[in-house]
Structure formats: structure tokens, C-alpha cells
Structure 1
């Protein structure tokens, strides 16, 4: 049988199943609705400043722009370059504290 070029394909039943949110999406929604996500972000900012991570990243960015030349570095390139180093250099104690706070939230929210 020939397919019609004037008619869009009939959607599969799989598309309806994809409309249900995943567990990660549900957790994210609950964090946002409760205001806990903003509290966690603020806690993360405080801890990263306290441990010197922010200053370390700022210095790394400055060194990178000096090395390549200020005019030759774009923001996107800078972000792409420092992101892996930034993520790997977050102290384990900060990660553990945030994880504990998230677990406590999930237990209290009964998810």
C-alpha cells in the first residue's frame, strides 16, 4: 500500500505513554513547589564559597582568559572548558550534605 504524502503519519500508542512524568521529573516538581529547590541552591552557594571553590574557579577562568587572550575567549567556550573541572572539584562533604538534605526531603514528602 502506498503512503499518502498529504496526510501526516498516524501516531503510535507509545507517544501517550511518554506524557507521564518520570520519577526524576516528579521529584523536581515537588522540590520546586515546596521551595526546597531554592533552599538547596542557596545552601550549595554558601558551601562552595566557604570551601573556596568559587575563588578557585574564578582564578581558573582568569588564567584561561589570560592564556588565550581576552578577545579570543567566548563565554560558551569558557563554560565548556571549566564545567568538567568545576564539577569534579566540588568537595565530597558538600555533595554528601546536599544528598542528605534531598533524602530528608524525599522521606518527609513520602515519595
Structure 2
């Protein structure tokens, strides 16, 4: 008697083709195609350096590595520890500026 392996059903190719892209996916494609995503990323980098956020994250990273020992820390460990703190400490003014730029782009792109 044969043993059966439990596997998820194979999706039909027709189902994959008929799936409409989400609004978020459409916006992301438009941002990339226009080059606006790269401009927004550069603006974000500049603003984070200007407000001292980058130096703060660097200091947190160094403190964590010093605490755990250089040989006992992987990049994944560091990312896992620093990411929540980094996201939470982005200044509201920077977030608001980026949001306004994205809204302006969407209005001009007529989405």
C-alpha cells in the first residue's frame, strides 16, 4: 500500500492570470516606472541624515554589538533588534513630507 503525501493543491494558471493587481501594487509600479520611487528614497535618506536619525541608529548598533560581543552578533540579529526602534524613531515631519510628496505624485499621475 502506498503512503500519500499531503501537499497543497497546485494553483491553476488561469487563476493566477485573472488576479487583478492591488492598488498598492499599481502605485508601486507607477512609482518605479516614473523614477519617483528612487527620488523619494533619496529624499528620505537626506532627511534622516539631516535630523540625526542615521547617527542615532549607528550608535544603537554599535552599543548592541559592544554589549553582545563582536563575534556573537550576526547582521540578522542586528536588523531584528534595530528595525523596530528605527521605524518608531523616524520623525513625524519626515513622514509627513514623504506622504505629501506621494500624494502629489498620485494626483499628478491621475490614479
TM-based fold match above 0.5:
yes
Q: How many residues of Structure 1 are paired with residues of Structure 2 in the alignment?
A: 104
Cα distance change, pair 60–110 in 1 and its aligned pair in 2 (3 A): same
The ranges of structure 1 where at least 4 consecutive aligned residues each deviate by more than 6 angstroms after the TM superposition are: none
Q: How far apart in 1 are the matches of 2:100 and 2:14?
A: 36
Q: Alpha-carbon deviation of 1:12?
A: 6.3
Q: Alpha-carbon deviation of 1:20?
A: 1.5
User: Structure 1: which 5+ runs fail to align?
Assistant: 1-8
1:6 corresponds to which residue?
none
2:58 corresponds to which residue?
58
**TM-score normalised according to structure 1 size:** 0.86
Q: How far apart in 2 are the matches of 1:11 and 1:79?
A: 34
2:92 corresponds to which residue?
92
Cα distance change, pair 10–33 in 1 and its aligned pair in 2 (3 A): closer
2:31 corresponds to which residue?
31
2:42 corresponds to which residue?
42
Q: How far apart in 1 are the matches of 2:52 and 2:68?
A: 25
Cα distance change, pair 23–66 in 1 and its aligned pair in 2 (3 A): same
